[in-house]
Amino acid sequence: MANLKAQFEAAMADSKNLAERPDNATLLKIYSLYKQGSVGDNTEKKPGFGDMVGRAKWDAWNGLKGTSQDDAMQQYIDLIESLK
């Protein structure tokens, strides 16, 4: 577990230094996997229609409900690796 957490933190640092900015769909995937891996299932209130970005982020994170934090961390690490 400690090794996975260390890899997750390294991937977080790597995500800030990608060669190219990922497309919006990939950015949402990165965000949702990060939130699921670091916080767990989404329990926040869904943003209103006026907050399109917040809603998209909420929907992406909520779509991972039930995914274990360890699985989400590994998927996040793998995704960041594939973007380097």
Q: Indicate the domain borders of the chain.
A: 2-83
pLDDT of residue 39: 96
pLDDT of residue 1: 63
Positions in the chain whose pLDDT score sits under 50: none
For 2-83, CATH number out of 1.20.1270.10, 1.20.80.10, 3.20.20.140, 3.90.1300.10 equals 1.20.80.10
Burial zone of 38 (CB within 10 Å; 0-12 exposed, 13-18 middle, 19+ buried): middle
pLDDT of residue 33: 98
User: Can you tell me the distance from the alpha carbon of 35 to that of 29, in angstroms, rounded to the nearest whole number?
Assistant: 10
pLDDT of residue 42: 97
pLDDT of residue 49: 92
pLDDT of residue 50: 96
